[in-house]
Protein backbone atom coordinates (compact mmCIF):
# COMPACT_ATOMS: atom_id res chain seq x y z
CA UNK A 1 0.00 0.00 0.00
CA UNK A 2 1.35 3.42 -0.98
CA UNK A 3 1.87 5.72 2.00
CA UNK A 4 0.28 9.17 2.22
CA UNK A 5 3.75 10.75 2.23
CA UNK A 6 4.71 8.98 -1.01
CA UNK A 7 1.47 10.10 -2.68
CA UNK A 8 1.99 13.66 -1.47
CA UNK A 9 5.56 13.95 -2.80
CA UNK A 10 4.63 12.24 -6.07
CA UNK A 11 1.86 14.82 -6.56
CA UNK A 12 4.20 17.74 -5.76
CA UNK A 13 6.88 16.43 -8.15
CA UNK A 14 4.36 15.87 -10.94
CA UNK A 15 2.94 19.37 -10.37
CA UNK A 16 6.37 20.98 -10.77
CA UNK A 17 7.13 19.04 -13.97
CA UNK A 18 3.75 20.10 -15.38
CA UNK A 19 4.43 23.73 -14.51
CA UNK A 20 7.80 23.74 -16.28
CA UNK A 21 6.32 22.03 -19.35
CA UNK A 22 3.53 24.62 -19.39
CA UNK A 23 6.08 27.42 -19.28
CA UNK A 24 7.99 25.90 -22.21
CA UNK A 25 4.72 25.55 -24.16
CA UNK A 26 3.89 29.21 -23.50
CA UNK A 27 7.28 30.39 -24.80
CA UNK A 28 7.15 28.16 -27.88
CA UNK A 29 3.47 28.18 -28.86
CA UNK A 30 2.23 31.31 -27.01
CA UNK A 31 -0.43 29.20 -25.27
CA UNK A 32 -0.88 30.09 -21.60
CA UNK A 33 0.53 27.53 -19.18
CA UNK A 34 -2.65 27.91 -17.11
CA UNK A 35 -4.53 25.68 -19.55
CA UNK A 36 -2.15 22.77 -19.02
CA UNK A 37 -2.08 23.19 -15.23
CA UNK A 38 -5.83 23.47 -14.74
CA UNK A 39 -6.67 20.70 -17.21
CA UNK A 40 -4.17 18.49 -15.40
CA UNK A 41 -6.05 19.25 -12.19
CA UNK A 42 -9.30 18.06 -13.77
CA UNK A 43 -7.63 14.93 -15.19
CA UNK A 44 -6.10 13.73 -11.91
CA UNK A 45 -8.87 14.94 -9.59
CA UNK A 46 -12.14 13.39 -8.36
CA UNK A 47 -14.02 14.43 -11.52
CA UNK A 48 -11.37 12.82 -13.77
CA UNK A 49 -9.14 9.78 -13.30
CA UNK A 50 -9.23 10.11 -9.48
CA UNK A 51 -5.46 9.68 -9.22
CA UNK A 52 -5.10 12.38 -6.56
CA UNK A 53 -7.66 13.43 -3.97
CA UNK A 54 -7.80 17.08 -2.79
CA UNK A 55 -7.91 15.68 0.75
CA UNK A 56 -4.29 14.55 0.35
CA UNK A 57 -3.20 18.00 1.55
CA UNK A 58 -5.39 17.66 4.64
CA UNK A 59 -5.51 20.46 7.19
CA UNK A 60 -2.38 22.11 5.78
CA UNK A 61 -4.33 23.76 2.95
CA UNK A 62 -5.22 26.87 4.98
CA UNK A 63 -1.55 27.44 5.85
CA UNK A 64 -0.46 26.80 2.25
CA UNK A 65 -3.13 29.20 0.95
CA UNK A 66 -1.93 31.89 3.36
CA UNK A 67 1.65 31.27 2.21
CA UNK A 68 0.49 31.57 -1.41
CA UNK A 69 -1.16 34.94 -0.82
CA UNK A 70 1.84 36.14 1.16
CA UNK A 71 4.25 35.18 -1.64
CA UNK A 72 2.10 36.80 -4.34
CA UNK A 73 1.84 40.12 -2.49
CA UNK A 74 5.47 40.10 -1.38
CA UNK A 75 6.51 39.53 -4.99
CA UNK A 76 4.28 42.37 -6.18
CA UNK A 77 5.55 44.64 -3.42
CA UNK A 78 9.16 44.04 -4.47
CA UNK A 79 8.26 44.97 -8.06
CA UNK A 80 6.16 48.04 -7.18
CA UNK A 81 8.69 50.68 -6.17
CA UNK A 82 8.25 54.44 -5.80
CA UNK A 83 10.86 54.90 -8.55
CA UNK A 84 8.54 53.21 -11.07
CA UNK A 85 5.39 54.98 -9.90
CA UNK A 86 6.58 58.55 -9.34
CA UNK A 87 6.10 59.87 -12.90
CA UNK A 88 2.46 58.86 -13.47
CA UNK A 89 1.39 57.85 -9.97
CA UNK A 90 -1.93 59.71 -10.08
CA UNK A 91 -2.95 58.45 -13.53
CA UNK A 92 -1.81 54.87 -12.88
CA UNK A 93 -3.47 54.71 -9.44
CA UNK A 94 -6.65 56.40 -10.69
CA UNK A 95 -7.00 54.11 -13.70
CA UNK A 96 -6.18 50.98 -11.67
CA UNK A 97 -8.70 51.81 -8.95
CA UNK A 98 -11.42 52.85 -11.41
CA UNK A 99 -11.17 49.79 -13.66
CA UNK A 100 -10.89 47.45 -10.66
CA UNK A 101 -13.90 48.87 -8.80
CA UNK A 102 -15.98 48.91 -11.99
CA UNK A 103 -14.99 45.32 -12.86
CA UNK A 104 -15.59 44.01 -9.32
CA UNK A 105 -18.98 45.73 -9.26
CA UNK A 106 -20.02 44.23 -12.60
CA UNK A 107 -18.96 40.73 -11.47
CA UNK A 108 -20.84 41.15 -8.19
CA UNK A 109 -24.00 42.16 -10.06
CA UNK A 110 -23.89 39.04 -12.28
CA UNK A 111 -23.26 36.78 -9.25
CA UNK A 112 -26.10 38.39 -7.27
CA UNK A 113 -28.73 38.21 -10.02
CA UNK A 114 -27.76 34.98 -11.80
CA UNK A 115 -25.70 32.68 -9.55
CA UNK A 116 -26.42 33.19 -5.85
CA UNK A 117 -29.79 31.76 -4.75
CA UNK A 118 -29.36 33.33 -1.27
CA UNK A 119 -29.16 36.84 -2.81
CA UNK A 120 -26.37 37.86 -0.42
CA UNK A 121 -24.94 41.25 -1.39
CA UNK A 122 -21.85 40.73 0.81
CA UNK A 123 -21.10 37.36 -0.79
CA UNK A 124 -21.55 38.77 -4.31
CA UNK A 125 -19.26 41.69 -3.51
CA UNK A 126 -16.45 39.57 -2.08
CA UNK A 127 -16.59 37.28 -5.15
CA UNK A 128 -16.36 40.40 -7.33
CA UNK A 129 -13.39 41.58 -5.26
CA UNK A 130 -11.63 38.21 -5.60
CA UNK A 131 -12.07 37.98 -9.39
CA UNK A 132 -11.79 41.69 -10.22
CA UNK A 133 -8.08 41.95 -11.06
CA UNK A 134 -5.94 40.49 -13.87
CA UNK A 135 -3.04 38.15 -13.01
CA UNK A 136 0.51 39.55 -13.37
CA UNK A 137 1.97 36.05 -13.79
CA UNK A 138 0.18 35.88 -17.16
CA UNK A 139 -0.29 39.43 -18.44
CA UNK A 140 3.31 40.57 -17.83
CA UNK A 141 4.79 37.95 -20.24
CA UNK A 142 1.97 38.76 -22.69
CA UNK A 143 2.65 42.52 -22.64
CA UNK A 144 6.39 41.87 -23.04
CA UNK A 145 5.68 39.95 -26.26
CA UNK A 146 3.32 42.53 -27.76
CA UNK A 147 4.51 45.44 -29.89
CA UNK A 148 3.50 48.38 -27.72
CA UNK A 149 4.89 51.77 -26.81
CA UNK A 150 7.37 51.15 -23.97
CA UNK A 151 5.72 53.72 -21.70
CA UNK A 152 2.28 52.18 -22.30
CA UNK A 153 3.68 48.71 -21.63
CA UNK A 154 5.02 49.78 -18.22
CA UNK A 155 1.78 51.63 -17.46
CA UNK A 156 -0.34 48.54 -18.14
CA UNK A 157 1.94 46.26 -16.13
CA UNK A 158 1.83 48.61 -13.13
CA UNK A 159 -1.96 48.96 -13.48
CA UNK A 160 -2.39 45.20 -13.29
CA UNK A 161 0.01 44.77 -10.37
CA UNK A 162 -1.76 47.52 -8.39
CA UNK A 163 -5.22 46.06 -9.12
CA UNK A 164 -4.08 42.55 -8.19
CA UNK A 165 -2.66 43.88 -4.92
CA UNK A 166 -5.90 45.73 -4.13
CA UNK A 167 -7.91 42.54 -4.73
CA UNK A 168 -5.83 40.45 -2.33
CA UNK A 169 -5.66 43.16 0.34
CA UNK A 170 -9.41 43.87 0.27
CA UNK A 171 -10.47 40.22 0.15
CA UNK A 172 -8.18 39.09 2.98
CA UNK A 173 -8.98 42.12 5.15
CA UNK A 174 -12.73 41.55 4.75
CA UNK A 175 -12.27 37.83 5.48
CA UNK A 176 -10.82 38.84 8.87
CA UNK A 177 -13.77 41.08 9.76
CA UNK A 178 -16.82 39.39 8.19
CA UNK A 179 -17.19 36.63 10.85
CA UNK A 180 -17.58 39.34 13.51
CA UNK A 181 -20.03 41.22 11.26
CA UNK A 182 -22.16 38.12 10.74
CA UNK A 183 -22.07 37.37 14.48
CA UNK A 184 -23.53 40.82 15.14
CA UNK A 185 -20.40 42.21 16.83
CA UNK A 186 -19.93 44.78 14.05
CA UNK A 187 -22.50 46.98 12.35
CA UNK A 188 -22.24 48.03 8.70
CA UNK A 189 -20.79 51.39 9.78
CA UNK A 190 -18.33 49.73 12.16
CA UNK A 191 -17.23 47.35 9.40
CA UNK A 192 -16.00 50.20 7.19
CA UNK A 193 -14.19 51.86 10.10
CA UNK A 194 -12.56 48.62 11.24
CA UNK A 195 -11.49 47.86 7.66
CA UNK A 196 -9.70 51.21 7.42
CA UNK A 197 -8.15 50.77 10.88
CA UNK A 198 -6.97 47.24 10.07
CA UNK A 199 -5.34 48.34 6.83
CA UNK A 200 -3.74 51.46 8.36
CA UNK A 201 -2.08 49.48 11.17
CA UNK A 202 -0.80 46.90 8.68
CA UNK A 203 0.73 49.63 6.49
CA UNK A 204 2.50 51.20 9.50
CA UNK A 205 3.95 47.80 10.51
CA UNK A 206 5.15 47.16 6.96
CA UNK A 207 6.79 50.60 6.68
CA UNK A 208 8.61 50.26 10.01
CA UNK A 209 9.91 46.77 9.25
CA UNK A 210 10.77 47.75 5.66
CA UNK A 211 12.94 50.74 6.59
CA UNK A 212 14.64 48.81 9.39
CA UNK A 213 15.43 45.83 7.19
CA UNK A 214 16.66 48.05 4.37
CA UNK A 215 19.28 49.51 6.70
CA UNK A 216 20.29 46.08 8.00
CA UNK A 217 20.53 44.57 4.50
CA UNK A 218 22.67 47.45 3.21
CA UNK A 219 25.29 46.62 5.86
CA UNK A 220 24.97 42.82 5.67
CA UNK A 221 27.97 41.36 3.80
CA UNK A 222 27.33 37.61 4.11
CA UNK A 223 25.36 35.20 1.88
CA UNK A 224 21.67 34.19 2.01
CA UNK A 225 20.20 37.69 1.49
CA UNK A 226 17.00 36.16 0.18
CA UNK A 227 16.45 33.63 2.97
CA UNK A 228 16.90 36.33 5.60
CA UNK A 229 14.54 38.67 3.73
CA UNK A 230 11.98 35.87 3.41
CA UNK A 231 12.31 35.19 7.15
CA UNK A 232 11.61 38.88 7.85
CA UNK A 233 8.54 38.69 5.57
CA UNK A 234 7.22 35.71 7.58
CA UNK A 235 7.84 37.55 10.87
CA UNK A 236 6.15 40.68 9.47
CA UNK A 237 3.06 38.61 8.64
CA UNK A 238 3.06 37.13 12.14
CA UNK A 239 3.36 40.55 13.80
CA UNK A 240 0.35 41.73 11.80
CA UNK A 241 -1.64 38.62 12.74
CA UNK A 242 -0.69 38.92 16.43
CA UNK A 243 -2.05 42.48 16.68
CA UNK A 244 -5.23 41.52 14.80
CA UNK A 245 -4.51 43.32 11.53
CA UNK A 246 -3.82 42.17 7.96
CA UNK A 247 -0.47 40.39 7.95
CA UNK A 248 -0.76 40.05 4.16
CA UNK A 249 -0.93 43.85 3.72
CA UNK A 250 1.97 44.30 6.15
CA UNK A 251 4.10 41.96 4.01
CA UNK A 252 3.12 43.83 0.83
CA UNK A 253 4.10 47.19 2.36
CA UNK A 254 7.34 45.68 3.64
CA UNK A 255 8.16 44.55 0.08
CA UNK A 256 7.45 48.00 -1.42
CA UNK A 257 9.57 49.83 1.16
CA UNK A 258 12.43 47.31 1.06
CA UNK A 259 12.62 47.52 -2.75
CA UNK A 260 12.50 51.34 -2.91
CA UNK A 261 16.23 51.93 -2.62
CA UNK A 262 18.68 53.90 -4.75
CA UNK A 263 21.94 52.26 -3.67
CA UNK A 264 23.65 50.22 -6.39
CA UNK A 265 24.79 47.42 -4.06
CA UNK A 266 21.31 47.19 -2.56
CA UNK A 267 19.80 46.99 -6.04
CA UNK A 268 22.11 44.10 -6.84
CA UNK A 269 21.00 42.27 -3.69
CA UNK A 270 17.36 42.99 -4.53
CA UNK A 271 17.88 41.60 -8.04
CA UNK A 272 18.94 38.29 -6.49
CA UNK A 273 16.04 38.42 -4.00
CA UNK A 274 13.51 39.08 -6.78
CA UNK A 275 14.84 36.21 -8.88
CA UNK A 276 14.45 33.74 -6.00
CA UNK A 277 11.05 35.19 -5.11
CA UNK A 278 9.84 34.80 -8.71
CA UNK A 279 10.70 31.10 -8.60
CA UNK A 280 8.84 30.60 -5.32
CA UNK A 281 5.79 32.48 -6.66
CA UNK A 282 5.92 30.31 -9.79
CA UNK A 283 5.82 27.23 -7.53
CA UNK A 284 2.73 28.64 -5.79
CA UNK A 285 1.08 29.22 -9.18
CA UNK A 286 1.65 25.61 -10.21
CA UNK A 287 0.15 24.22 -7.02
CA UNK A 288 -2.97 26.38 -6.76
CA UNK A 289 -4.00 26.25 -10.42
CA UNK A 290 -3.77 22.44 -10.49
CA UNK A 291 -5.51 22.24 -7.12
CA UNK A 292 -8.36 24.47 -8.30
CA UNK A 293 -8.72 22.26 -11.38
CA UNK A 294 -9.31 19.25 -9.09
CA UNK A 295 -12.45 20.91 -7.75
CA UNK A 296 -13.99 21.73 -11.13
CA UNK A 297 -17.23 19.82 -11.49
CA UNK A 298 -17.45 19.02 -15.21
CA UNK A 299 -21.22 18.52 -14.90
CA UNK A 300 -21.55 22.31 -14.67
CA UNK A 301 -20.59 22.54 -18.35
CA UNK A 302 -23.99 21.11 -19.26
CA UNK A 303 -25.73 23.65 -17.03
CA UNK A 304 -26.89 26.41 -19.39
CA UNK A 305 -27.53 28.99 -16.65
CA UNK A 306 -24.07 28.39 -15.13
CA UNK A 307 -22.22 28.75 -18.46
CA UNK A 308 -24.37 31.77 -19.38
CA UNK A 309 -23.47 33.45 -16.09
CA UNK A 310 -19.75 32.81 -16.75
CA UNK A 311 -20.03 34.34 -20.23
CA UNK A 312 -21.91 37.33 -18.75
CA UNK A 313 -19.07 37.86 -16.27
CA UNK A 314 -16.54 37.85 -19.13
CA UNK A 315 -18.64 40.39 -21.06
CA UNK A 316 -18.98 42.53 -17.92
CA UNK A 317 -15.19 42.52 -17.47
CA UNK A 318 -14.65 43.58 -21.08
CA UNK A 319 -17.26 46.35 -20.86
CA UNK A 320 -15.68 47.67 -17.65
CA UNK A 321 -12.21 47.77 -19.23
CA UNK A 322 -13.58 49.35 -22.42
CA UNK A 323 -15.24 52.16 -20.44
CA UNK A 324 -12.10 52.78 -18.35
CA UNK A 325 -9.73 52.78 -21.34
CA UNK A 326 -11.88 55.22 -23.32
CA UNK A 327 -12.50 57.47 -20.29
CA UNK A 328 -8.80 57.69 -19.38
CA UNK A 329 -7.67 57.68 -23.06
CA UNK A 330 -5.12 54.93 -22.54
CA UNK A 331 -2.90 54.23 -25.56
CA UNK A 332 -3.40 55.00 -29.24
CA UNK A 333 -6.48 53.65 -31.09
CA UNK A 334 -4.32 50.83 -32.46
CA UNK A 335 -3.00 49.91 -29.00
CA UNK A 336 -6.16 50.31 -26.94
CA UNK A 337 -7.37 46.83 -27.94
CA UNK A 338 -4.46 45.30 -25.98
CA UNK A 339 -5.47 47.25 -22.90
CA UNK A 340 -9.02 45.91 -23.20
CA UNK A 341 -8.48 42.30 -24.32
CA UNK A 342 -5.47 41.34 -22.19
CA UNK A 343 -7.26 40.67 -18.89
CA UNK A 344 -6.37 37.11 -17.76
CA UNK A 345 -7.18 35.92 -14.25
CA UNK A 346 -4.46 33.76 -12.69
CA UNK A 347 -2.75 32.96 -9.40
CA UNK A 348 -4.39 35.53 -7.11
CA UNK A 349 -7.89 34.57 -8.28
CA UNK A 350 -7.13 30.87 -7.71
CA UNK A 351 -5.61 31.36 -4.24
CA UNK A 352 -8.35 33.78 -3.11
CA UNK A 353 -11.03 31.37 -4.29
CA UNK A 354 -9.56 28.51 -2.25
CA UNK A 355 -8.87 30.77 0.75
CA UNK A 356 -12.41 32.22 0.88
CA UNK A 357 -14.00 28.77 0.56
CA UNK A 358 -11.72 27.28 3.24
CA UNK A 359 -12.52 30.19 5.59
CA UNK A 360 -16.26 29.72 4.82
CA UNK A 361 -16.50 33.40 3.90
CA UNK A 362 -18.06 32.31 0.58
CA UNK A 363 -20.60 29.49 0.77
CA UNK A 364 -21.75 29.51 -2.86
CA UNK A 365 -21.35 25.86 -3.94
CA UNK A 366 -20.47 26.76 -7.53
CA UNK A 367 -17.80 29.34 -6.60
CA UNK A 368 -14.84 26.99 -7.17
CA UNK A 369 -16.18 25.94 -10.57
CA UNK A 370 -17.14 29.47 -11.67
CA UNK A 371 -13.71 30.76 -10.67
CA UNK A 372 -12.08 27.95 -12.67
CA UNK A 373 -14.16 28.74 -15.75
CA UNK A 374 -13.46 32.50 -15.49
CA UNK A 375 -9.71 31.87 -15.32
CA UNK A 376 -9.91 29.56 -18.36
CA UNK A 377 -12.10 31.92 -20.43
CA UNK A 378 -10.12 35.10 -19.69
CA UNK A 379 -6.90 33.33 -20.66
CA UNK A 380 -8.56 31.97 -23.80
CA UNK A 381 -9.59 35.49 -24.88
CA UNK A 382 -6.07 36.75 -24.15
CA UNK A 383 -4.49 33.90 -26.15
CA UNK A 384 -6.74 34.59 -29.15
CA UNK A 385 -5.93 38.31 -28.93
CA UNK A 386 -2.20 37.51 -28.95
CA UNK A 387 -2.63 35.21 -31.96
CA UNK A 388 -4.53 37.85 -33.95
CA UNK A 389 -1.90 40.44 -33.09
CA UNK A 390 0.95 38.17 -34.24
CA UNK A 391 -0.95 37.36 -37.43
CA UNK A 392 -1.54 41.03 -38.18
CA UNK A 393 2.09 41.80 -37.44
CA UNK A 394 3.25 39.01 -39.77
CA UNK A 395 1.29 40.59 -42.64
CA UNK A 396 2.93 43.99 -42.10
CA UNK A 397 5.33 45.14 -44.87
CA UNK A 398 8.93 44.00 -44.38
CA UNK A 399 11.24 46.89 -43.50
CA UNK A 400 14.42 47.57 -45.43
CA UNK A 401 17.83 47.37 -43.79
CA UNK A 402 18.15 51.16 -43.87
CA UNK A 403 14.76 51.61 -42.18
CA UNK A 404 15.80 49.20 -39.43
CA UNK A 405 19.06 51.11 -38.97
CA UNK A 406 17.18 54.40 -38.79
CA UNK A 407 14.92 52.99 -36.06
CA UNK A 408 17.99 52.43 -33.90
CA UNK A 409 18.68 56.18 -33.83
CA UNK A 410 16.29 56.70 -30.94
CA UNK A 411 16.43 58.52 -27.61
CA UNK A 412 20.20 58.92 -27.21
CA UNK A 413 20.73 59.84 -30.86
CA UNK A 414 17.84 62.31 -30.76
CA UNK A 415 19.38 64.01 -27.73
CA UNK A 416 22.74 64.15 -29.50
CA UNK A 417 21.28 65.78 -32.61
CA UNK A 418 18.98 68.14 -30.72
CA UNK A 419 15.69 66.50 -31.73
CA UNK A 420 14.64 66.00 -28.10
CA UNK A 421 13.24 68.97 -26.20
CA UNK A 422 15.41 70.73 -23.57
CA UNK A 423 13.56 69.04 -20.69
CA UNK A 424 13.88 65.57 -22.18
CA UNK A 425 17.53 66.10 -23.05
CA UNK A 426 18.33 67.37 -19.55
CA UNK A 427 16.65 64.31 -18.05
CA UNK A 428 18.65 62.01 -20.31
CA UNK A 429 21.99 63.71 -19.65
CA UNK A 430 21.35 63.56 -15.90
CA UNK A 431 20.51 59.86 -16.11
CA UNK A 432 23.69 59.12 -18.08
CA UNK A 433 25.87 61.16 -15.69
CA UNK A 434 24.39 59.36 -12.68
CA UNK A 435 25.05 56.00 -14.33
CA UNK A 436 28.70 56.87 -15.01
CA UNK A 437 29.20 58.03 -11.42
CA UNK A 438 27.66 54.81 -10.11
CA UNK A 439 30.09 52.75 -12.20
CA UNK A 440 33.04 54.64 -10.72
CA UNK A 441 31.78 54.17 -7.16
CA UNK A 442 30.71 50.53 -7.37
CA UNK A 443 33.19 48.96 -9.80
CA UNK A 444 36.12 51.31 -9.37
CA UNK A 445 36.63 51.67 -13.12
CA UNK A 446 39.09 54.35 -14.27
CA UNK A 447 37.11 55.11 -17.41
CA UNK A 448 33.35 55.05 -17.92
CA UNK A 449 31.56 55.89 -21.14
CA UNK A 450 28.32 55.66 -23.11
CA UNK A 451 28.02 55.38 -26.86
CA UNK A 452 25.01 55.80 -29.12
CA UNK A 453 24.27 54.08 -32.40
CA UNK A 454 24.10 56.59 -35.22
CA UNK A 455 23.18 54.88 -38.52
CA UNK A 456 24.23 51.59 -37.00
CA UNK A 457 27.68 52.79 -35.86
CA UNK A 458 28.61 53.61 -32.23
CA UNK A 459 29.61 57.19 -31.45
CA UNK A 460 30.67 58.61 -28.09
CA UNK A 461 27.81 60.24 -26.22
CA UNK A 462 29.32 60.87 -22.78
CA UNK A 463 32.48 59.98 -20.86
CA UNK A 464 34.35 60.99 -17.74
CA UNK A 465 36.59 63.98 -18.53
CA UNK A 466 39.41 62.65 -16.32
CA UNK A 467 39.32 59.42 -18.28
CA UNK A 468 39.79 61.32 -21.54
CA UNK A 469 43.09 62.71 -20.22
CA UNK A 470 44.18 59.31 -18.88
CA UNK A 471 43.42 57.24 -21.96
CA UNK A 472 43.72 59.88 -24.65
CA UNK A 473 41.06 60.96 -27.15
CA UNK A 474 42.17 58.44 -29.76
CA UNK A 475 41.27 55.60 -27.40
CA UNK A 476 37.64 56.13 -28.44
CA UNK A 477 38.45 54.72 -31.87
CA UNK A 478 39.46 51.44 -30.24
CA UNK A 479 36.53 51.44 -27.84
CA UNK A 480 34.16 51.67 -30.81
CA UNK A 481 35.28 48.23 -31.96
CA UNK A 482 34.36 46.70 -28.61
CA UNK A 483 31.08 48.61 -28.62
CA UNK A 484 30.25 47.33 -32.11
CA UNK A 485 30.90 43.77 -30.93
CA UNK A 486 28.47 44.22 -28.00
CA UNK A 487 25.83 45.63 -30.36
CA UNK A 488 26.14 42.76 -32.83
CA UNK A 489 26.04 40.12 -30.10
CA UNK A 490 23.34 41.97 -28.14
CA UNK A 491 25.25 40.81 -25.08
CA UNK A 492 28.07 41.97 -22.83
CA UNK A 493 31.64 41.98 -24.13
CA UNK A 494 34.48 41.47 -21.67
CA UNK A 495 38.14 41.57 -22.73
CA UNK A 496 41.02 41.20 -20.24
CA UNK A 497 44.81 41.67 -20.48
CA UNK A 498 44.42 43.69 -23.68
CA UNK A 499 47.76 45.46 -23.78
CA UNK A 500 48.50 48.54 -25.89
CA UNK A 501 45.59 49.75 -28.03
CA UNK A 502 46.31 50.43 -31.74
CA UNK A 503 45.30 54.10 -31.67
CA UNK A 504 47.01 55.08 -28.42
CA UNK A 505 50.07 54.24 -26.36
CA UNK A 506 47.90 53.48 -23.36
CA UNK A 507 48.31 50.00 -21.88
CA UNK A 508 44.69 49.01 -21.16
CA UNK A 509 44.15 46.13 -18.73
CA UNK A 510 40.45 45.35 -19.15
CA UNK A 511 37.26 46.52 -20.87
CA UNK A 512 33.61 45.67 -20.16
CA UNK A 513 30.76 46.81 -22.46
CA UNK A 514 26.98 46.21 -22.20
CA UNK A 515 24.28 47.09 -24.77
CA UNK A 516 21.59 49.66 -23.90
CA UNK A 517 18.04 48.88 -25.07
CA UNK A 518 15.04 51.07 -25.80
CA UNK A 519 11.74 49.59 -26.96
CA UNK A 520 13.41 46.23 -27.50
CA UNK A 521 16.08 47.73 -29.78
CA UNK A 522 19.81 48.18 -29.08
CA UNK A 523 20.47 51.93 -29.21
CA UNK A 524 23.92 52.16 -27.67
CA UNK A 525 26.34 50.80 -25.08
CA UNK A 526 27.56 51.56 -21.60
CA UNK A 527 31.06 50.52 -20.62
CA UNK A 528 34.03 50.63 -18.28
CA UNK A 529 37.78 50.27 -18.75
CA UNK A 530 40.87 50.04 -16.53
CA UNK A 531 44.47 51.08 -17.09
CA UNK A 532 46.15 50.69 -13.70
CA UNK A 533 43.33 49.07 -11.76
CA UNK A 534 41.94 45.54 -12.01
CA UNK A 535 43.50 43.19 -14.53
CA UNK A 536 40.04 41.79 -15.20
CA UNK A 537 36.38 42.47 -14.41
CA UNK A 538 34.75 39.87 -12.17
CA UNK A 539 31.23 38.42 -12.31
CA UNK A 540 30.07 40.81 -9.58
CA UNK A 541 31.30 43.73 -11.72
CA UNK A 542 29.22 42.49 -14.66
CA UNK A 543 26.17 42.14 -12.41
CA UNK A 544 26.65 45.63 -10.98
CA UNK A 545 27.06 47.15 -14.43
CA UNK A 546 23.89 45.29 -15.53
CA UNK A 547 21.94 46.82 -12.63
CA UNK A 548 23.22 50.30 -13.52
CA UNK A 549 22.39 49.72 -17.20
CA UNK A 550 18.85 48.59 -16.26
CA UNK A 551 18.39 51.78 -14.23
CA UNK A 552 19.52 53.87 -17.18
CA UNK A 553 17.10 52.06 -19.52
CA UNK A 554 14.26 52.76 -17.07
CA UNK A 555 15.23 56.44 -16.84
CA UNK A 556 15.26 56.99 -20.62
CA UNK A 557 12.13 54.93 -21.41
pLDDT of 479 over the 80 cut: no
What pLDDT does 82 receive?
A: 63
pLDDT of 242 over the 50 cut: yes
Q: Which of 45-49, 52-56, 323-327, 546-550 has the highest mean pLDDT?
A: 323-327
**What is the chain's mean pLDDT, rounded?**
77
Average pLDDT rounded to a whole number, residues 263-269: 61
What pLDDT does 443 receive?
A: 67
Q: Which domains does the chain have, with CATH numbers?
A: 57-394 (1.20.1530.20), 408-556 (3.30.450.40)
Per the model's pLDDT, the better-predicted residue between 83 and 201 turns out to be 201
* Cα 26 to the center of its chain, rounded Å: 17
Percent of the chain with pLDDT over 90: 13
What pLDDT does 413 receive?
A: 47
pLDDT of 303 over the 80 cut: yes
What pLDDT does 175 receive?
A: 86
Contact 345, 134 (CB under 8 A): yes
pLDDT of 448 over the 60 cut: yes
- Phi-psi category of residue 509: left, alpha or beta, with phi > 0 → left and psi -120 to 50 → alpha: alpha
pLDDT of 412 over the 50 cut: no
pLDDT of 151 over the 90 cut: no
pLDDT in tens, 268-277: 667 777 778 8
57 DSSP 8-state letter: G
pLDDT of 76 over the 70 cut: yes
What pLDDT does 323 receive?
A: 92
pLDDT of 494 over the 90 cut: no
Comparing C-alpha atoms, which of 80, 236, 74 is closest to residue 168?
Answer: 74
Average pLDDT rounded to a whole number, residues 19-32: 77
pLDDT of 345 over the 60 cut: yes
User: Which residues have C-beta within 8 Å of that of residue 35, sequence separation ≥ 6?
Assistant: 22, 376, 379, 380
pLDDT of 56 over the 50 cut: yes
HEC letters along 269-290: HHHHHHHHHHHHHHHHHHHHHH
Average pLDDT rounded to a whole number, residues 115-125: 89
Terminal C-alpha separation, the chain: 60
Comparing C-alpha atoms, which of 310, 297, 321 is closest to residue 370?
Answer: 310
Helix (H) or strand (E) holding 107: helix 89-110
Average pLDDT rounded to a whole number, residues 466-486: 66
User: Which residues have C-beta within 8 Å of that of residue 526, sequence separation ≥ 6?
Assistant: 435, 439, 448, 449, 450, 513, 514, 516, 545, 548, 549, 552
Contact 199, 244 (CB under 8 A): no
What pLDDT does 105 receive?
A: 94
pLDDT in tens, 168-226: 889 988 888 888 888 878 777 788 888 888 889 999 999 999 989 888 887 776 677 78
pLDDT of 534 over the 60 cut: no
What pLDDT does 55 receive?
A: 65
Average pLDDT rounded to a whole number, residues 490-502: 66
Q: Which of 35-44, 63-72, 93-102, 136-145 has the highest mean pLDDT?
A: 93-102
What pLDDT does 411 receive?
A: 42
To 10 degrees, what angle do helices 247-259 and 150-182 make? 150
Per the model's pLDDT, the better-predicted residue between 162 and 450 turns out to be 162
Instruction: For residue 290, name the pLDDT band (cuts at 50, 70, 90).
Output: confident
pLDDT of 253 over the 50 cut: yes
Contact 61, 358 (CB under 8 A): yes
What pLDDT does 276 receive?
A: 80
Amino acid sequence: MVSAAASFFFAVGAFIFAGILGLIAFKKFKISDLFLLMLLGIAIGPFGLKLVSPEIFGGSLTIVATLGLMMVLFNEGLNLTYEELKEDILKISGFSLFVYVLTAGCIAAVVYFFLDPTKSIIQALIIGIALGAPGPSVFIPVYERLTLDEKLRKFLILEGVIADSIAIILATSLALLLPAYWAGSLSSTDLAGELFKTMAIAVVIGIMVGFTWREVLSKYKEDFHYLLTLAVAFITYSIGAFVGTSGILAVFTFGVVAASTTGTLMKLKLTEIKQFQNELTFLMKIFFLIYLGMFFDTSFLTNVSFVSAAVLIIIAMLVARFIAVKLFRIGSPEESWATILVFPRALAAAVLTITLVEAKVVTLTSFLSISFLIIILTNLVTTVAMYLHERKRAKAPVKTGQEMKDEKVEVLAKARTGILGPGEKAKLVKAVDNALKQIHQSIGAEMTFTMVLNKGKPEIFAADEKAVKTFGKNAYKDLKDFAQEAVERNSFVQVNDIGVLPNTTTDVRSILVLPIHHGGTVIGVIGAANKKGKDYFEEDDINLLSVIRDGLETAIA
